[in-house]
Structure 1
Amino acid sequence: MYRQVLVLAVFAAFLCGFPASCARNLNYRPIIGILAQENLEDDPRAQGSSYIAASYVKHLESAGARVVPIRINRTKEEYEKLFNAINGLLLPGGNVDIEKSQFTRAAKVFYELAIKANDASDYFPIWGTCQGFQQLTVLTSNKNLLTLTDTKAVALPLTFSPGAQKSTLFKKFPKDVLQSLAEENITSNFHSWSLSMQNYSSNAKLKRFYRVLTTNTDGKKEFISTMEAYRYPFYAVQWHPEKSPFEWIEKDGMVHTLSAIKAAFYTAHFFVSEGWSSKKWKIQYEE
């Protein structure tokens, strides 16, 4: 009997060496920051100087995260204080200048803080959607390597790279969801600019930093649609998983099928679960 207990204790200790295997090592109260962006001057729906689309908030909350806004036009010190109080960052889609905007300025501060934190074993994940994807490529390469593509309002299946289904992002997706992503037109694309495989392959910084998980084509150019960093918990999609369950605009490219909703949920669940490994608050009431 003693031997059985000892074996079980050793096995439990072994499992707890992995963050996802021991409940007491996880933070099931993740707080994810979503970066706001400038309203466009010619947008008749604009209210105020900046905004965060509600679909991103709902997307994260549906998977168990709490969300806080990260406002633009704040000091670096304010961003540093906020960084130390959240468990991850989402860079949303939009239509601002990803080289000169206040969105970019704030994203750069958080990107650099996240690099530093992860290098110090302080886990901090980042997710980029559409414009957020593009912003990450600029921050990593220090260049705008985007190229025009005919992908303004279209739903596409994903072309998985070899081994991508065993990647950090996709490895826990159910097989039926991966099959739907590969075979059905369920990823909503609303972008005019993309990172082509040609430009990615010719830039050493991007190749060293990011692993290509999926690609797409507009019929002329092959572009990257999903990627993850090799060393850091940074993930980016050029498509919009949050739109299928939470946006109801009448446009081509919008998909509300069961397959699209399931893919959106597993995408949200993945990133929120990344936040479980980030610990900022030692005492619950401090939150």
Structure 2
Amino acid sequence: MLSVIIGLDWTYLGLECAGLFIVFINSTYKSVTSPCFLGVLAQENLPGDQFARGSSYIAASYVKYLEGAGARVVPIRINRTEEEYVNIFYSINGCQSTAANDAGDYFPIWGTCQGFQQLSVLTANKNLLTLTDTKAVALPLTLTPAAQSSRLFRSFPKDLLQSLAEENITSNFHSWSLSFRNAKLKRFYKILSTNNDGKKEFISTMEAYRYPFYAVQWHPEKSPFEWIDKPGMVHSSSAVRASFYTASFFISEAMKNHHHFSSPLEEERALIYNFSPVFRGIHAVFVQNYYFD
């Protein structure tokens, strides 16, 4: 089951958050074990990265985050030819988000950080972001009444939900946050949690009412796999458990879709295993990166 992570050019919004917009589409050649393959979109290399090779990268923490919950990862490289992308999307039977889901095809979508913000822009058709003091800070979630019965959180153990609500265990690395200003957005998404930087309240977790679309402003992948010593990085057992349950939930959603590659060979050629991560130092923003031409 292939999942694809897709991003857009954010320069027109002036966004600074290091994150991904994730569109997961479950697709696999049906084998005996039926593994779940999740695709991750590479990003342009960060300015000043002395370890950079080629033109793009994927932080290994995203790969480990998904693999740790039982998935296998497929890198989706940027700046490829149109023909190559046509072949990729032909293999996964397209990516038409809401239209595909309306047609009865279950296409889960996940957004993290900038991906969360991007989903809000695509839904509201306007920029609803506001500046907040949330760069490198760990926060508890203010869970809404809808959270406990939500698809995302209802399978979380009660003690873990309590930890999410009471402990500073969600890593935030964003300068922009999502306000409540748009009625269309609130009709499309159920708000599961909010946060407050001391002055402004913003949405931090949401899921669509009608579609398997999910988004978090915080970074569930950082706690188990990134080790830079700075505020916002939390490695407690509660934070690591939250990471696992979040990834596990989304993989269970992706497995409901039954698109397929044309052959096992096509799957093998697509895997992240064809590339080696580069160690950037234990105190780097990303401990390991995969680099691509």
Q: Is 1:259 equivalent to 2:242 in the alignment?
A: no
Q: C-alpha distance in 2, partners of 1:140/1:75?
A: 28
Q: Is the 8 A contact 1:84 1:280 kept in 2?
A: no
Residue equivalent to 1:29: 35
Among 50, 55, 62, the alignment partner of 2:56 is: 50
Residue equivalent to 2:211: 232
Moved more, 188-197 or 40-49: 40-49
Largest Rg, 1 or 2 = 1
Structure 1 residues 223 and 46: alpha-carbon distance in aligned structure 2, compared to 1, 3 A threshold: farther
Residue equivalent to 1:210: 189
Q: Is 1:72 equivalent to 2:78 in the alignment?
A: yes
Q: Is 1:220 equivalent to 2:220 in the alignment?
A: no
Give the superposition deviation at 1:37: 1.8
Structure 1 residues 252 and 183: alpha-carbon distance in aligned structure 2, compared to 1, 3 A threshold: same
**What are the residue-to-residue correspondences of 1:141-152 with 2, within 5 Å?**
141-152=124-135
Moved more, 249-258 or 38-47: 38-47
Letter in 1 for 2:56: S
Provide, for residues 86-105 of structure 1, a one-character-per-residue CA deviation record: whole Å limited to 9, x for no partner: 59xxxxxxxxxxxxxxxxxx
Q: Is 1:244 equivalent to 2:244 in the alignment?
A: no
Q: C-alpha distance in 2, partners of 1:79/1:222?
A: 39
Q: In the comparison of the two structures, how many residue pairs are matched? A: 236
Q: Is the 8 A contact 2:112 2:216 kept in 1?
A: yes
Give the superposition deviation at 1:124: 1.3
Higher helix proportion: 1
Give the superposition deviation at 1:143: 1.6
Q: Is the 8 A contact 1:212 1:228 kept in 2?
A: yes
Moved more, 235-244 or 75-84: 75-84
- Give the aligned CA root-mean-square deviation in angstroms: 2.4
Q: C-alpha distance in 2, partners of 1:186/1:248?
A: 14
Residue equivalent to 1:61: 67
Give the superposition deviation at 1:151: 0.3
TM-score (norm 2): 0.74
**Identical positions, percent:** 73
Letter in 1 for 2:77: R
Letter in 2 for 1:153: A
Among 100, 106, 119, the alignment partner of 1:123 is: 106
Residue equivalent to 1:135: 118
Q: C-alpha distance in 1, partners of 2:81/2:140?
A: 41
Q: Is the 8 A contact 1:242 1:264 kept in 2?
A: yes
Letter in 1 for 2:161: L
Structure 1 residues 230 and 79: alpha-carbon distance in aligned structure 2, compared to 1, 3 A threshold: farther
Structure 1 residues 230 and 139: alpha-carbon distance in aligned structure 2, compared to 1, 3 A threshold: same
Q: Is the 8 A contact 2:171 2:219 kept in 1?
A: yes
Among 150, 154, 160, the alignment partner of 1:171 is: 154
Give the SS at the match of 2:148: helix
The structure, 1 or 2, with the larger RCO (C-alpha pairs under 8 Å, 6+ apart) is 2
Q: C-alpha distance in 2, partners of 1:134/1:124?
A: 19
Any unmatched runs of 5+ in structure 1? 1-23, 88-108
Q: Is the 8 A contact 1:33 1:86 kept in 2?
A: no
Provide, for residues 196-233 of structure 1, a one-character-per-residue CA deviation record: whole Å limited to 9, x for no partner: 23x2xxx2331221111000000000000000111111
Give the SS at the match of 1:166: coil
Q: C-alpha distance in 1, partners of 2:167/2:89?
A: 38
Any unmatched runs of 5+ in structure 2? 1-29, 268-293
